[in-house]
């Protein structure tokens, strides 16, 4: 359980405590919690409570790069009510985590470079207080986990992960995740680096691979792409087989196999 406290001082001095009962979730699962309030020195009208899922995204603009935040789900969990001076109020909530939510934790450890979080927004007397971004850890679905584990077995070494602004084919998100690896094992002679992207839905995961290929004799390197689909109900080995096939197809284009 994660305890979160933000102080909302609107003159009424309302205190807000948000408790997430499952700070680690998977895409498609519900995020549950309770927003607790304690009234301040005077009565106050709470006009609404909102839960906002937010991601920190990297934006390229010309030669410059900067980071900004995107809200990818904002849901009202309570309407208006009167909060008496000193009174306490608890509002439970349950909101669906979108299928396309990027991964931010693997094997219980935060994924370096990723920052997802939860804001609790309180509308009070015409003002809107948005608390600090508290971490939200999103674990991979089984198919995603199988792809990540297979890359590890094949010798690829994790480099970093981030979110890039843009919408990919088949996606509804205004950003996409890139999980970057250094090539390893037998793939080191074919690729420099590999980027992995998931586009996830309720029935399947589309996997996008982008490899920075090494140059051949009298030729320079270039990027190679592959995209394949793994359904959630396929047997555990299907994801690794599809990954292996995708890597070989990218390498085969230069006659390495």
pLDDT in tens, 144-200: 999 999 999 999 999 999 999 999 999 999 999 999 999 988 999 889 999 999 999
Q: Residues 96-109: pLDDT tens digits?
A: 999 999 999 998 89
Residue ranges of the chain that CATH labels 2.60.40.640: 2-138
Q: Residues 25-81: pLDDT tens digits?
A: 999 999 999 988 787 777 878 888 899 999 999 998 777 888 999 999 999 998 888
How far is residue 119 from each of residues 73, 156, 200, 214, measured CA to CA in Å?
Answer: 10, 35, 24, 44
Q: What is the pLDDT of residue 37?
A: 79
Q: What is the pLDDT of residue 103?
A: 97
How far is residue 120 from each of residues 31, 34, 104, 144, measured CA to CA in Å?
Answer: 13, 10, 20, 29
Of 138, 27, 14, the residue nearest 81 (C-alpha): 14
User: Looking at the domain covering 2-138, what would its CATH class be?
Assistant: mainly beta
**Stretch 193-215: mean pLDDT, rounded?**
92
């Amino acid at each position: 359980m994660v305890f979160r406290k933000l102080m909302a001082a609107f003159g009424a001095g309302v205190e807000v405590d948000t408790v997430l009962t499952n700070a680690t979730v998977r895409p498609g699962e519900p995020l549950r919690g309770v927003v607790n309030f304690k009234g301040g020195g005077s009565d106050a009208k709470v006009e609404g409570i909102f839960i906002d899922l937010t991601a920190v995204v990297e934006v390229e603009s010309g030669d410059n790069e900067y980071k900004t935040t995107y809200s990818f789900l904002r849901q009202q969990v309570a309407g208006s009510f009167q909060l008496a001076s000193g009174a306490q109020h608890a509002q439970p909530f349950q909101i669906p985590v979108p299928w396309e939510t990027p991964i931010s934790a693997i094997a219980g450890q935060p994924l370096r470079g990723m920052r997802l979080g939860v804001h609790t927004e309180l509308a009070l007397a015409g003002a809107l207080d948005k608390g600090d971004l508290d971490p939200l850890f999103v674990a991979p679905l089984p198919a995603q986990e199988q792809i990540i584990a297979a890359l590890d077995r094949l010798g690829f070494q994790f480099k970093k992960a981030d979110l890039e602004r843009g919408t990919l084919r088949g996606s509804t998100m205004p950003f996409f995740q890139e999980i970057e690896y250094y090539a390893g094992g037998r793939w080191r002679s074919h690729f420099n680096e590999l980027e992995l992207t998931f586009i996830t839905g309720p029935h399947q995961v589309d996997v996008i691979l982008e490899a920075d290929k090494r140059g051949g004799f009298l030729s320079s390197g270039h990027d190679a792409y592959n995209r394949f689909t793994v359904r959630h109900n396929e047997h555990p080995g299907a994801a690794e087989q599809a990954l292996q096939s995708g890597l070989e197809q990218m390498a085969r284009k230069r006659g390495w196999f």
